[in-house]
A = this chain, B = another copy of it.
Amino acid sequence: MNTSPIKTAEILCVGTELLLGDIVNTNAAYLSRKLAELGICVYRHTAVGDNPERLSRALDAAFSEADLVITSGGLGPTYDDLTKETVAAYFGRSLFLHESSLVAIRSYFDRIGRVMTKNNEKQAMMPEGAIVFPNHYGTAPSLAIEGENNKTAIMLPGPPGELIPLFEEEILPYLQSRRDSVLVSKNIHIFGMGESSVENELKELMTESKNPTVAPYCKEGEVRLRVTASADTRAHAAALCDKMIETVRKTKVGEFIYGIDVDSLEEAAVRHLRSKGMTLATAESCTGGLCAKRVTDLAGCSDVFLGGCVTYANEAKTELLGVKKETLETYGAVSEETAREMARGVRLRLGASVGTATTGIAGPGGGTPEKPVGTVYVAISTEKGEVVRKLSLSAMRSREYIRIVSANHVYDLILKET
């Protein structure tokens, strides 16, 4: 058993569909984030097609620098799935039929009610001495080979629906068992302050603090700071992180922090409402269902979220939300007044504690000199009354961006006004 610590890694993704641009390589980002959290430095990402010669060269190049190579893809049942065979050849291992994997694959097919074909047997062939991690989410087991040369390869199937749970349940514990110090990361979530302002405010912390490190990263309209500390115990590393978080809270950035280690603004908003025993109803025009969709992405949101109305046509705003015709005629659908009536309307209609609304011009068409693309009104209604925020996002932003940021403001209003 190879127990030397792993310090450096390369992520090597296999699949012609990547090189054709048919799919975006989310696996590389996911694995990188996970390895960074483990304190393993990722040197490079490489993606190659289903071509064993190129894969073999990429493997040589990867191991010339990295202790660990994690592959994704190429573990399927077809003739062009050759990752396992190629990696086994690199380590000089031959393949044999791994009985318990065969049993697992058979039972997987039984469970999903389909017939196992002969070529799926290929997925049960394993290199000598490999550590096999059973896959409950698909047919390709994951595996690791620990080489005599102090190099380790971990192979994962390509579909994120298999790769992610396999990584969380099997690979993470395996990698943790091979570390020599403990690393803890905490994420500070910030909304309402731009990345450059955050960086400007925290420049010294970000460049000078080595343990914990503080690193910013951006997500549509939000900024996050990752605080990472290394120590002898988990508790000690966590304490170092907490101390740094307190330091950041005392800066100008502090008032824009909406959570530590929350998944998203919508999750923070739903948690906040739950903690207050409040319920939510959403009214949406320009976001067209996105506000509700992001809330219902969260499993178990039904104790907080009652429902919502997507009122694209003016008639829908009147019929479903009771927005007055004269309001629409006098001020227009994209106006503070309409936003206010939408938020109040949906709250009263569904008997919720909180109603929210969005109405605006997401583009690319539909802008006017008075109300250019990017003009959005975001409103919240509670029994205390309504609050409306006017956004003037750059018309150069995409429709998608404008919709995401508008929804972000809905969740931020929930956090600030309830």
Question: A residues near B, CB below 8 A?
Answer: 13, 16-26, 28-36, 42-49, 54, 58, 61, 111-112, 136-137, 161, 215, 217-218, 224, 226, 281-282, 284, 287-297, 299-302, 305-313, 315-317, 319-320, 349-351, 362-365, 394, 396-401, 403
**A288-B293 contact in complex given A20-B215, A25-B24, A310-B308, C-beta closer than 8 Å:** yes
Each complex incorporates copies of this chain amounting to: 2
Q: Can you list 26 A-B pairs with a CB-CB distance of less than 8 A? A: A17-B217, A18-B28, A20-B32, A20-B215, A20-B226, A21-B28, A21-B29, A22-B224, A23-B29, A24-B28, A44-B58, A45-B47, A281-B316, A288-B297, A288-B305, A289-B289, A289-B294, A289-B296, A292-B292, A296-B312, A305-B312, A307-B313, A307-B316, A307-B320, A320-B320, A320-B349
Enumerate chain B residues within 8 angstroms of A161, measured Cβ to Cβ: 396-398, 401
Task: Contact check, A48 vs B54: say whether CB atoms are below 8 A apart.
Answer: no
**How many angstroms between the C-alpha atoms of A302 and B349 in the bound complex?**
24
Of the candidates B16, B291, B294, B302, the one whose C-beta lies within 8 Å of that of A313 is B302
Contact B46 A19, beta carbon cutoff 8 Å: no
Which residue from chain B places its CB closest to the CB of A351 in the assembled complex? B315
With most chain B CB atoms within 10 A of its CB, the pick from A307, A319, A398 is A307
User: Which residues from chain B contact A24 at a C-beta distance below 8 Å?
Assistant: 24-26, 28-29
Is the Cβ of B19 less than 8 Å from the Cβ of A45?
Answer: yes
Contact B25 A112 (CB under 8 A): no
Scoring A16, A316, A400 by chain B CB atoms within 10 A of each residue's CB, the highest score goes to A316
Chain B CB within 10 Å, residue with most, of A47, A218, A287, A319: A47
State the CA gap A218–B159 with chains docked (Å): 10
B residues in contact with A49, CB < 8 Å = 43
How many Å from the CB of A250 to the closest CB on chain B?
Answer: 25
